[in-house]
Amino acid sequence: MASPPRRVSSLLYSLSPLLLSRSSYTYSSIIHALPFCPPLFLSPFLSLSSSSMAPELQQEEDYITGPEAPHKTRVTVVGSGNWGSVAAKLIASNTLRLSSFHDEVRMWVFEETLPSGEKLTDAINRNNENVKYLPGIKLGKNVVADPDLENAVNGANMLVFVTPHQFMEGICRRLVGKVKADVEAISLIKGMEVKMEGPCMISTLISQQLGINCCVLMGANIANEIAVEKFSEATVGYRENKEIAQKWVQLFSTSYFIVTPIQDVEGVELCGTLKNVVAIAAGFVDGLEMGNNTKAAIMRIGLREMKAFSKMLFSSVKDTTFFESCGVADLITTCLGGRNRKVAEAFARSGGKRSFDELEAEMLQGQKLQGVSTAKEVYEVLSHRGWLDFFPLFATVHEICIGTLPPSAIVEHSERTPKI
């Protein structure tokens, strides 16, 4: 009888004696040790630096213990929705294990009162789970919810921002002067701010307003699946400091959540932002029961527009970024199972008669859509720069969302041949 398929995480563990050995193992010797695996499949996992491996595969010899131990790094998660809670769970599992980090992970919670009358923060701390946004999942006893933003970030050396993007400008204003210049940040936020002078990515907003470096983490990451520890990947985008990128990789990585760093902040962040617009289009296709061929075509066209828009805004964006988890993988999973697709499907089934605000409130239990607001922001950029004819899919999604066009127009955009 054939052996059952092995999880990729198990495969990584099977490699650990080779990867952690001081011997000079070559690429080919590792491949020969695993003849059942093609080299192309293994190549992302075989760097001897093991930067993107599950942290159990990494040695911790660089960490000093005892009287000479360096100051321990404190981490705060700014945000406590579905994805924010999962991020806190991932991080908390690693801060307990890594000696360079303080055990406690603080999580800022936008305070709410539950139907029972209990404060959400109190419920999280009492139950060790986010009973509203991630019920049934234990976050880790070292996660401490805090409704006071300034107190939550006080003393933190690493800040993880994971809130709806439309709230970030206000959050940053509240934190001005409250964060030290040597603090490192990472944004898990999909979206952008559109200002008179042009679009501003959330990582740039954080860096400019708080005066700190900000990386980004994006990927094919449906939060509920990661919460129950199903295998997934993500991409960390960094600017210049690869060492801090490796530290973020170490903080997020687990045996079921593999993280890879690449030097392309704008590319990674725009992939995470723009895929939500394409997911809205995919939802329209599902709601109108147009079939898998149509949906695949919409996804392909969407990926083409994502790449073109990103490179027209930032010439530094790399083509290879679109083949990372933050690119095509995130696009696929969001168009198959994300909340933007789900609500857009309901919108199309109603013939556009029910608003996205109404459907969001009914279907998402307090979570926020990103695709509709991002489509509006992208449309503003396209209109201001005279690029509407270059991006017929992006333009059509926004026009359907605001009621200018019916949902069925999502496939008629092909008549407007892009000039890319």
- Dihedral angle at the C-alpha atoms of 97, 30, 322, 49, nearest 10 degrees? 40
Question: What does the pLDDT read at residue 322?
Answer: 98
How many CA atoms are closer than 13 Å to the CA of 257, on its beta-carbon side?
A: 30
> Going by DSSP bridges, is the β-strand pair 198-201/213-218 parallel, antiparallel, or unpaired?
unpaired
- Weakly modelled stretches of the chain, pLDDT under 70: 1-70, 196-197, 413-420
Instruction: Decide if 73-263 and 269-416 have a common fold.
Output: no
Residues 174-226 pLDDT 10s: 999 999 999 999 999 988 887 766 789 999 999 999 999 999 999 999 999 99
Q: Give the chain's count of helices (H) and strands (E).
A: 17, 10
Cα–Cα distances (Å) from 117 to 8, 79, 120, 131, in that order, read 44, 21, 9, 13
Question: What does the pLDDT read at residue 413?
Answer: 63
Question: Which DSSP state fits 405?
Answer: S
Q: How far apart are the first and last CA of the chain?
A: 52
Tokens of 89: 């769970």
Whole-structure pTM value: 0.81
Tokens of 315: 């010439």
* Superfamily designation of domain 73-263: NAD(P)-binding Rossmann-like Domain (3.40.50.720)
CB 374 within 8 A of CB 276: yes
Domain layout of the chain by residue ranges = 73-263, 269-416
Q: Which residues participate in catalysis according to the annotation?
A: 275
Domain 269-416 has CATH 3.90.1660.10: no
What are the phi and psi torsion angles at 76 (to 5°)?
A: -125, 135
d(CA 350, CA 264): 40
Question: What does the pLDDT read at residue 1?
Answer: 43
The number of angstroms, rounded, from the C-alpha of 278 to the middle of its chain's C-alpha atoms is: 16
Question: What does the pLDDT read at residue 5?
Answer: 42
Question: What does the pLDDT read at residue 418?
Answer: 52
The 3-state DSSP class for residue 263 equals coil
Question: What does the pLDDT read at residue 419?
Answer: 53
**Other CB atoms within 10 A of residue 307 CB:** 20
From 154, 191, 195, 149, select the one nearest 174 (Cα to Cα): 149
d(CA 313, CA 267): 10
What are the phi and psi torsion angles at 158 (to 5°)?
A: -135, 125
Question: What does the pLDDT read at residue 192?
Answer: 85
> Going by DSSP bridges, is the β-strand pair 232-237/213-218 parallel, antiparallel, or unpaired?
antiparallel
Residues 50-80 pLDDT 10s: 333 344 434 343 333 444 445 899 999 999 9
- Residue 31 corresponds to which amino acid? I
